[in-house]
């Protein structure tokens, strides 16, 4: 047994896919499965496909390549804007990319012609979250120019909320996207096949019955991997939050004070802490630290335990209320998105798929 490990339950991922698909079904909205939180690992992506997903998307070309090798027939989307220096690889591996820069669209066009391919593009519009996308007023001109590029198929437009600014997708701002699409469609005499509404922050609109018409695609990562929408992080109906569980071992368990002794300066990460004196507690030191997972991303599965803090290689827990736990015990955590991303990316965390 090599700990820490992240235990991955493919059945639960499949269950979450089905929960998301049944939310989207009444709207006829296509769900694209986002694989970036698990580095595009084909075994896990395969569970998304088994659950009924038909298109996969990842932010990194390296992951898209991995997916391409494993699933030659599946439609793949590159989520992060393609880099000018990676136009050739983008055309080679991805069927669809999200774009906002004309120079890059020109480069993709040249490459698509060179490779004898038709590459599908979605133009991203920034409706206020201030990450990627052109401003609404500039969309018409970009559409006109893009339509003239050979080798590219303008599939439609898209947006992204709740990433940088934390702007919540609502009926209002998504109707703005749909309205903008219709205005530009009329002006250009071209119909967009896809209006890609966003990420897991859109899921509450589905269960509130509020998704704007014409939004016919959502790109869903967290809703599938952690079974939650991302506005208030509620678990979706029919989904489970524990498809990924982190497990770590207790190295030391001793009764100690809660108030450090001596002059308090900065910790290993330049932070100064306030300590609350809770008297003597049974403190467990686990063999998992910030180099494995950010402690903010961990959720204790046992509600009797509490996290005191973490350093590079250690996590310190209050085990007082769980007297059966001691040296050698294994403690389990559910993960928030930051925890999942950190643990999946850390080379120190073993990834183990749970056998049925
Ligand atoms: C990561 C990402 C998503 C998926 O976000 P979740 O909140 O995990 O659903 C969707 N679209 C883009 C452009 C992304 O980068």
Burial (0-12, 13-18, 19+ Cβ within 10 Å), 11: middle
Q: How far is the CA of 266 from the centre of ligand 1 (A)?
A: 36
Give the rounded distance of the alpha carbon of 92 from its chain centre.
24
Q: Helix (H, G, I), strand (E, B), or coil: what is residue 309?
A: strand
Token pair of 144 as six digits: 């006109």
Per-residue model confidence (pLDDT) at position 2: 83
| Confidence band, pLDDT 50/70/90 cuts, at residue 1 | low
Burial 224-257 (b: 16+ CB within 10 A, else e): bbbbbbbbeeeebeebbbbbbbbbbbbeebeeee
Predicted confidence (pLDDT) per residue in 57-106, tens digit: 999 999 999 999 999 999 999 999 999 999 999 999 999 999 999 999 99
Q: Which atom of ligand 1 is nearest to the CA of 223?
A: 9
Q: Which atom of ligand 1 is nearest to the CA of 37?
A: 8
Q: Which residues is 161 bridged to in the sheet?
A: none
- pLDDT given at position 354: 94
Q: What is the DSSP string of 238-263?
A: T--S-SEEEEEEEEEEEEEESS--S-
Q: Which residues of 23-44 are buried (b: 16+ CB within 10 A; e: fewer)?
A: bbeebebbbbbbbbbbbbbbeb
Token readout for 57 is 């998307």
pLDDT score recorded for residue 269: 85
Residue nearest to atom 5 of ligand 1 (CA): 199
Q: Is 126 in the pocket of ligand 1 (CB under 6 A)?
A: no
36 lines ligand 1 (CB under 6 A): yes
Q: Which of 48-62, 141-155, 201-215, 248-262 has the lowest mean pLDDT?
A: 201-215
Look at residue 11 and tell me whether its pLDDT is greater than 80.
yes
Please tell me the distance from the alpha carbon of residue 284 to that of residue 317, in angstroms, as a whole number.
5
Give the C-alpha separation, 53 to 166, whole Å. 27
Q: What is the pLDDT of residues 290-331, one digit of tens each?
A: 999 999 999 999 999 999 999 999 999 999 999 999 999 999
Q: How high is the pLDDT of residue 275? A: 87
Q: Please count the other Cβ atoms lying within 10 Å of the Cβ belonging to residue 301.
A: 14
Environment class of residue 65 by beta-carbon count within 10 Å: exposed (0-12), middle (13-18) or buried (19+)?
Answer: middle
Spacing of C-alpha 65 from chain mean position:
18
The per-type count for the chain, helices as H runs and strands as E runs, is 10, 16
Quick: pLDDT tens for 116-154: 999 999 999 999 888 899 999 999 999 999 999 999 999
Ligand 1 proximity of 146 Cβ (cutoff 6 Å): no
CA distance 239 to 269: 36
Ligand 1 geometric centre to CA of 309 (Å): 29
Evaluate if residue 213 carries a pLDDT over 80: no
Determine whether the shortest distance from the Cβ of 99 to ligand 1 is under 6 A: no
Q: Is the CB of 34 under 6 A from ligand 1?
A: yes
Mean pLDDT, the chain, whole residue set: 95
Q: Hey, which of 31, 132, 221 would you mutate to test ligand 1's pocket, going by the most ligand atoms within 8 Å of its Cβ?
A: 221
Return the higher-pLDDT residue of 267 and 186.
Answer: 186
Q: How confident is the model at residue 224 (pLDDT cuts 50, 70, 90)?
A: very high
| Distance from the alpha carbon of residue 223 to the mean position of ligand 1, in angstroms | 10
Give the catalytic positions in this structure: 36
336 lines ligand 1 (CB under 6 A): no
| Residue 5 pLDDT | 98
CA dist 23 and 21 (Å) reads 5
Q: How far apart are CA 227 and CA 238, in angstroms?
A: 9
pLDDT of residue 225: 98
């Amino acid at each position: 047994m090599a700990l820490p490990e992240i235990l991955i339950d493919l059945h639960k991922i499949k269950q979450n896919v089905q929960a998301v698909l049944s939310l989207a079904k009444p709207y006829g909205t296509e769900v694209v499965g986002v694989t970036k939180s698990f580095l595009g690992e084909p075994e896990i992506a395969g569970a998304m496909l088994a659950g009924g997903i038909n298109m996969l998307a990842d932010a990194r070309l390296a992951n898209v390549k991995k997916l391409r090798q494993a699933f030659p027939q599946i439609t793949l989307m590159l989520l992060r804007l393609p880099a000018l220096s990676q136009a050739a690889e983008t055309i080679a591996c991805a069927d669809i990319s999200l774009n906002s820069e004309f120079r890059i669209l020109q480069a993709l066009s040249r490459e698509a012609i060179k490779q004898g391919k038709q590459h599908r593009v979605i133009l991203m519009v920034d409706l206020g979250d201030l990450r990627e996308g052109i401003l609404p007023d500039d969309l018409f001109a970009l559409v006109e120019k893009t339509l003239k590029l050979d080798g590219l198929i303008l599939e439609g437009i898209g947006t992204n909320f709740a990433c940088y600014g934390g702007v919540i997708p609502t009926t209002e701002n998504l109707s703005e996207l749909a309205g903008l699409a219709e205005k530009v469609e009329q002006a250009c005499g071209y119909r967009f096949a896809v209006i890609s509404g966003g990420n897991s922050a859109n899921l509450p609109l589905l269960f509130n019955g509020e998704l704007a018409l014409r939004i016919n695609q959502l790109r869903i990562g967290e809703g599938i991997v952690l079974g939650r929408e991302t506005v208030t992080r509620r678990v979706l109906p029919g989904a489970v939050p524990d498809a990924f569980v982190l497990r770590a071992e207790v190295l030391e368990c001793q009764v100690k004070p809660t108030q450090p002794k001596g002059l308090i300066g900065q910790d290993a990460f330049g932070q100064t802490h306030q300590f609350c004196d809770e008297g003597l507690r049974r403190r467990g030191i686990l063999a998992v630290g910030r180099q494995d997972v950010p402690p903010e991303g961990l959720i204790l599965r046992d509600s009797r335990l509490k996290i005191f803090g973490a350093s590079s290689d250690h996590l310190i827990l209050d085990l007082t209320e769980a007297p059966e736990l001691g040296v050698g015990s294994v403690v389990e955590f559910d993960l928030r998105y930051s925890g999942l991303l950190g643990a999946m990316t850390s080379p120190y965390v073993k990834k183990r798929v749970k056998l049925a």
